């Protein structure tokens, strides 16, 4: 050995001495160098010197760590070191950009999905209402005809307001009207509201004023209050908005005030654009005004503020007395009709709908939490593997004097930093998702603009979630790093060690968790997809592929009474003149579209519960409607020239379900009905037609009846045509014909019936797609987890496998043996997943159509999918192991 080489060894050793505490180095460093150099001199050949160096390194790691631990002067845990650790973690993450980007993307999806769902669920279900003293506010409901709490008749709300139990009673009802803005008419959400509304909520207009009692009387002036969000968004927070005029449904209304900040409407998170006074109900049409005097129509929701000292129970007693009195005074409307008082904390949106909303919210939350859990399990696994590959580094850090706690903290800081990065990107995703949310057609779940945003509550949730996430996936690797025996780690590091049995078990457990969670999500997707498929292929009772429609806007036409029929005839003539159109009709509603029902008494039929009347959906149609839609006539006749206006009787058609329910096997023709409260039986059944979906696809068959437009003057909205060709191709010609009408009838929507049905399935489709996306992600993660575990095991056993193959083991045998290692883990995960899925599936049974919650096809499909993914994930690394050259494998070990 030359002198220069010896100098190299000595310099290296002196550098190594830095791992010792200063006092020890000062006391013994020189002699240790002497001893080391003596040994170097004796070591003959590079192999011996390499072994010497290895022993010295291990020795240094062990002893320096022991000395540092004992030494009160070494290694702190204060703020300075925290910043230092943060910088170190950031630098470290920057150095492995692929890992960091992957982890951040994973976390962004997981955390972003959770923040998005929390934002929706919070605003819909959790957030306290922005009212003063909400404990004094109650919701009051008149019973529906089914005997359940429902909306109230406006006259009844006035009776409630007269009660001493309440300091104030407000009645509200929602509507959608066309706002004639500069860009043409657009739909806006309004609420007709009594002047007492602000008193009930304990708030006041932030500009101008709220309605006064004089504006609770129809005809006393058209006034509106703009909501704060709409004032900001559509009026640019214009301070001079008060006094301006808005045209709603063609009527000029004066804006008298701006609503309080933070109040978005009665039905959060639906955003109300304008509040209209009772005096402005004419904006909704003449019937909206007539309705104010009708005890048969239940349109209003009631919020009330309890009088001082009155409890909810006392208010309930007062309402029981009122209900009894109304039952005596108006037996035809209110006999047996109760009135229920709910504390505002017990109602979110509506007592009848809250259950479904909470179930939906819980399902959504469970899905996104599962995805996050999966992401955490996967990251924990990755970090464990990375932690092992870094155990050498960590051991040296320990040796350099970092207390064990600090090494663990370094891991945690790194995972928290990752989590914060992921959460930050997740918040961006959330903002994007929330912006996209209102443009998604949500059917009857959300019927208007949503007021959703990232506020303080969401921010707190997000930060908390990031912290929990970071700890969740960082804790296991951190604890393992702290437990790692330094010398063991240094030895393992050289051999590419497995990190011991504990780490292997932990990784297996994480894989099992991933398999279980993925199975639940895959199964959920299967169930939702099968349910959606059943909905898409169900027979709605009409020729869905043959029909196009326009929605007519009559508000500018000025047509009423007899003139409506003239215009309808003109529309039908023009439509049927279009080449390709075989039949045309006009109808007040499309199938699978909830609107229009009336409280009806049926001769000879007593409903099982509640009052004498039933709430029946209806449509008014022109003669050709049933031929146009392909709805069969089952008995009797369709509408014809015999059905003339002005006579004493009104002809109606009922659907098969109505005929069966009301009259059983008896002949329904000639049976009679009347509107609730009517003196005589004016409506006579002349025919029975086939069932169609009334308010949504997949609902249980519902009774329904039809009026003829010959005997009803309200102009129906939907122009429908039948063709043998492509219905979409007719829409242009249909619009042109509408424009040529002798009166102005606008068109504010158009499409095909198939498209309309598709839109009504937007919610289940969205649910199935979202679930599908989440399960695909889950499968990918579970697959990666299995892949990692098998790869690791293969790498660890390279030598052993090499020996076995050298001894003549078949490659296929090697593959099987390696794959077998994860079989137990996968099977355990699948079993746990099946148990969870069976439990979870029963919870979502209500969301499914035409498929059982324990559907064997969906269950088998999910298991097969999981097994397939697991097999591929295990097979790829196993095959790599089997392909290895035995000699190479042995040499590598």
**Residues contributing to the site for another protein (CB under 8 A):** 13, 20, 24, 27-28, 30-36, 38, 55-56, 58-60, 62-64, 66-67, 69-70
From residue 595, alpha-carbon distances to 282, 461, 625, 863, 874 in Å are 20, 39, 18, 43, 55
What does the alpha-carbon distance between residue 268 and residue 540 come to, in Å, rounded to a whole number? Answer: 33
For tokens 């090499």, the residue is 802
Q: What's the angle, vertex CA 98, arms to CA 97 and CA 99, rounded to 5?
A: 95
What does the alpha-carbon distance between residue 289 and residue 173 come to, in Å, rounded to a whole number? Answer: 12
Q: What is the dihedral of CA 640, 645, 650, 655, to 10 degrees?
A: 40
Query: Helix crossing, 500-537 with 762-796: angle to 10°?
Result: 150
Task: Using the minimum distance from each CB to another protein, give the nearer residue, 34 or 83.
Answer: 34
Q: Least CB distance from residue 124 to another protein, whole Å?
A: 53
Q: What's the angle, vertex CA 385, arms to CA 95 and CA 871, rounded to 5?
A: 120
Q: Least CB distance from residue 771 to another protein, whole Å?
A: 50
Q: Which two tokens stand for residue 467?
A: 């912290």
Are the C-beta atoms of residues 278 and 210 closer than 8 Å to each other? Answer: no
Q: Least CB distance from residue 854 to another protein, whole Å?
A: 53
Closest CA to 77 of 347, 374, 412: 412
CB count in 10 Å sphere of residue 633: 14
In a 10 Å sphere around its CB, with 0-12 CB exposed, 13-18 middle and 19+ buried, how is residue 26 labelled?
exposed
DSSP label at 342?
E
What does the alpha-carbon distance between residue 343 and residue 349 come to, in Å, rounded to a whole number? Answer: 12
Are the C-beta atoms of residues 304 and 140 closer than 8 Å to each other? Answer: yes
Q: Least CB distance from residue 494 to another protein, whole Å?
A: 16
Task: Using the minimum distance from each CB to another protein, give the nearer residue, 64 or 564.
Answer: 64
In a 10 Å sphere around its CB, with 0-12 CB exposed, 13-18 middle and 19+ buried, how is residue 244 labelled?
middle
Residues 6+ apart with CB under 8 A from 291: 154, 281, 297, 299
Task: Using the minimum distance from each CB to another protein, give the nearer residue, 69 or 843.
Answer: 69
Task: Using the minimum distance from each CB to another protein, give the nearer residue, 51 or 820.
Answer: 51
What does the alpha-carbon distance between residue 434 and residue 112 come to, in Å, rounded to a whole number? Answer: 11
Q: Which two tokens stand for residue 505?
A: 């078990």
Q: Least CB distance from residue 390 to another protein, whole Å?
A: 22
Please compute Rg for the chain using Cα positions. 37
What does the alpha-carbon distance between residue 149 and residue 337 come to, in Å, rounded to a whole number? Answer: 10
Q: Least CB distance from residue 477 to another protein, whole Å?
A: 21
Q: Least CB distance from residue 482 to another protein, whole Å?
A: 12
What does the alpha-carbon distance between residue 379 and residue 373 come to, in Å, rounded to a whole number? Answer: 10
Task: Using the minimum distance from each CB to another protein, give the nearer residue, 58 or 315.
Answer: 58
Q: Least CB distance from residue 31 to another protein, whole Å?
A: 5
Task: Using the minimum distance from each CB to another protein, give the nearer residue, 69 or 883.
Answer: 69
- Coil, helix or strand for 657? helix
Task: Using the minimum distance from each CB to another protein, give the nearer residue, 36 or 179.
Answer: 36
Task: Using the minimum distance from each CB to another protein, give the nearer residue, 58 or 621.
Answer: 58
Task: Using the minimum distance from each CB to another protein, give the nearer residue, 34 or 463.
Answer: 34
Residues 6+ apart with CB under 8 A from 346: none
Task: Using the minimum distance from each CB to another protein, give the nearer residue, 32 or 170.
Answer: 32
Task: Using the minimum distance from each CB to another protein, give the nearer residue, 402 or 771.
Answer: 402
Q: Least CB distance from residue 42 to another protein, whole Å?
A: 10
In a 10 Å sphere around its CB, with 0-12 CB exposed, 13-18 middle and 19+ buried, how is residue 773 labelled?
middle
Q: Least CB distance from residue 414 to another protein, whole Å?
A: 25
Are the C-beta atoms of residues 140 and 169 closer than 8 Å to each other? Answer: yes
Are the C-beta atoms of residues 559 and 716 closer than 8 Å to each other? Answer: no
Are the C-beta atoms of residues 655 and 690 closer than 8 Å to each other? Answer: yes
Task: Using the minimum distance from each CB to another protein, give the nearer residue, 30 or 888.
Answer: 30
Q: Least CB distance from residue 471 to another protein, whole Å?
A: 25
Task: Using the minimum distance from each CB to another protein, give the nearer residue, 28 or 820.
Answer: 28
What does the alpha-carbon distance between residue 406 and residue 289 come to, in Å, rounded to a whole number? Answer: 74
Q: Least CB distance from residue 41 to another protein, whole Å?
A: 11
Task: Using the minimum distance from each CB to another protein, give the nearer residue, 58 or 322.
Answer: 58
For tokens 């050298």, the residue is 806
Residues facing residue 247 across a β-bridge: 252
Q: Least CB distance from residue 11 to another protein, whole Å?
A: 15
Task: Using the minimum distance from each CB to another protein, give the nearer residue, 31 or 562.
Answer: 31
Q: What is the dihedral of CA 360, 363, 368, 372, to 10 degrees?
A: 150
Q: What is the dihedral of CA 396, 400, 401, 403, to 10 degrees?
A: -20
Q: Least CB distance from residue 35 to another protein, whole Å?
A: 5
Q: Least CB distance from residue 1 to another protein, whole Å?
A: 18
CB count in 10 Å sphere of residue 498: 18
Q: Least CB distance from residue 63 to another protein, whole Å?
A: 3
| Number of residues that this document lists for the chain | 893
User: How do 705-708 and 614-621 pair as beta strands?
Assistant: parallel
Instruction: Encode 70-94 in three state secondary structure.
Output: HCCCCCCCCHHHHHHHHHHHHHHHH
Task: Using the minimum distance from each CB to another protein, give the nearer residue, 32 or 654.
Answer: 32
For tokens 């509603």, the residue is 589
Q: Least CB distance from residue 70 to another protein, whole Å?
A: 6
Q: Least CB distance from residue 505 to another protein, whole Å?
A: 22
User: How do 614-621 and 597-602 pair as beta strands?
Assistant: antiparallel
């Amino acid at each position: 050995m030359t002198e220069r080489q010896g100098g190299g060894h000595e310099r290296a050793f002196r550098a190594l001495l830095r791992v010792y505490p200063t006092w020890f180095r000062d006391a013994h460093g020189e002699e240790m160098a002497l001893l080391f150099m003596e040994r170097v001199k004796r070591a003959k050949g590079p192999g011996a010197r390499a072994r010497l160096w290895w022993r010295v390194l291990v020795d240094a790691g062990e002893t320096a760590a022991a000395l540092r631990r004992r030494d009160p002067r070494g290694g702190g845990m204060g703020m300075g070191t925290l910043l230092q650790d943060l910088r170190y973690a950031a630098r470290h993450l920057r150095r492995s950009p692929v890992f960091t980007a992957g982890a951040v993307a994973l976390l962004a999806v997981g955390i972003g999905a959770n923040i998005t769902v929390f934002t929706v669920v919070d605003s819909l279900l959790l957030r306290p209402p922005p009212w003063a003293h909400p404990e004094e506010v109650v919701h009051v409901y008149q019973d529906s005809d089914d005997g359940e709490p429902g909306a109230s008749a406006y006259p009844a709300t006035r009776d409630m307001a007269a009660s001493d139990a309440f300091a104030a009673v407000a009645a509200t009802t929602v509507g959608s009207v066309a706002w004639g803005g500069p860009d043409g008419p657009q739909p806006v959400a309004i609420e007709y509201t009594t002047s007492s509304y602000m008193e009930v909520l304990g708030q006041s207009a932030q500009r101008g004023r709220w309605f006064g009692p004089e504006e609770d009387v129809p005809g006393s002036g058209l006034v509106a209050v703009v909501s704060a969000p709409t004032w900001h968004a559509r009026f640019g927070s214009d301070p001079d908005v008060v006094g301006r005029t808005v045209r709603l449904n063609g009527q000029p209304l004066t804006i008298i005030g701006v609503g309080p900040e933070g109040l978005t409407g009665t039905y959060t998170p639906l955003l109300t654009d304008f509040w209209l006074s009772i005096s402005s109900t004419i904006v909704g049409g003449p019937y909206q005004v007539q309705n104010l005097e009708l005890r048969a129509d239940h349109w209003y929701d009631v919020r009330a503020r309890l009088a001082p000292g009155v409890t909810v129970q006392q208010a309930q007693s007062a309402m029981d007395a009122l209900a009894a009195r109304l039952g005596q005074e108006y037996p035809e409307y209110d006999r047996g009709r109760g009135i229920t008082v709910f504390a505002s904390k017990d109602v979110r949106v509506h007592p009848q709908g809250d259950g479904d909303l909470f179930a939906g919210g819980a399902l959504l939350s469970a899905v996104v939490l599962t995805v996050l859990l999966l992401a955490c399990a996967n990251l924990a696994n990755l970090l464990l593997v990375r932690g092992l590959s870094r155990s050498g580094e960590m051991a040296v850090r320990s040796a350099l004097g970092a207390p064990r706690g600090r090494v663990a903290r370094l891991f945690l800081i790194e995972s928290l930093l990752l989590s914060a990065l992921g959460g930050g990107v997740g918040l961006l995703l959330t903002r994007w998702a929330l912006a996209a949310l209102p443009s998604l057609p949500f059917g009857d779940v959300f019927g208007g603009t949503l007021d959703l945003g990232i506020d303080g509550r969401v921010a707190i949730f997000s930060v908390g979630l990031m912290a929990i996430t970071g700890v969740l996936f960082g804790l296991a690797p951190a604890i393992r790093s702290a437990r790692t025996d330094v010398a063991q780690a240094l030895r393992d590091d050289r051999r590419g060690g497995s990190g011991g049995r504990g780490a292997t078990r932990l990784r297996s457990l994480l894989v099992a968790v991933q398999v279980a969670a993925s199975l639940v999500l895959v199964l959920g997707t299967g169930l939702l997809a099968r349910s959606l498929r059943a909905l898409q292929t169900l027979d709605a009772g009409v020729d869905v592929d043959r029909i196009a429609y326009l929605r007519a806007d009559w508000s500018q036409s000025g047509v009423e009474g007899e003139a409506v029929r003239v215009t309808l005839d003109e529309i039908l003539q023009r439509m049927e003149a279009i080449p390709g159109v075989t039949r045309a009709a006009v109808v007040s509603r499309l199938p699978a579209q909830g609107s229009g029902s009336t409280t009806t008494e049926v001769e000879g039929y007593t409903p099982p519960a509640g009052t004498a009347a039933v709430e029946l959906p209806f449509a008014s149609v022109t003669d050709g409607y049933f031929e146009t839609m392909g709805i069969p006539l089952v008995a009797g006749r369709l509408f014809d020239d015999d059905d003339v206006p002005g006579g004493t009787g009104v002809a109606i058609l009922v659907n098969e379900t109505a005929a069966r329910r009301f009259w059983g096997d008896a002949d329904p023709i000639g049976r009679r009905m009347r509107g609730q409260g009517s003196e005589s039986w004016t409506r006579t059944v002349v025919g029975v037609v086939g069932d169609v979906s009334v308010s949504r696809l997949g609902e249980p068959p519902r009774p329904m009846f039809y009026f003829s437009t010959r005997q009803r003057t309200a102009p129906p909205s939907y122009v429908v045509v039948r063709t043998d060709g492509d219905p979409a191709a007719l829409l242009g010609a249909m619009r042109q014909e509408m424009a040529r009408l002798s009166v102005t009838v606008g068109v504010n929507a158009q499409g095909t019936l198939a498209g309309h049905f598709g839109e009504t399935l937007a919610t289940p489709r969205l649910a199935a797609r979202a679930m599908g996306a989440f399960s695909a992600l889950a499968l990918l993660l579970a697959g990666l987890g299995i892949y990692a575990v098998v790869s690791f095991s293969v790498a660890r056993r390279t030598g052993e496998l090499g020996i076995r193959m050298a001894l003549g083991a078949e490659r296929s045998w090697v593959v099987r043996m390696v794959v077998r290692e994860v079989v137990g883990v996968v099977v355990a995960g699948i079993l746990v997943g099946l148990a969870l899925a069976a439990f979870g599936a029963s919870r979502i049974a209500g969301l499914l159509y035409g498929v059982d919650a324990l559907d064997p096809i969906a269950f088998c499909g999910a298991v097969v999918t999981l097994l397939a993914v697991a097999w591929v994930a295990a097979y790829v690394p196993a095959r790599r192991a089997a392909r290895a050259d035995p000699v190479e494998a042995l040499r590598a070990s």
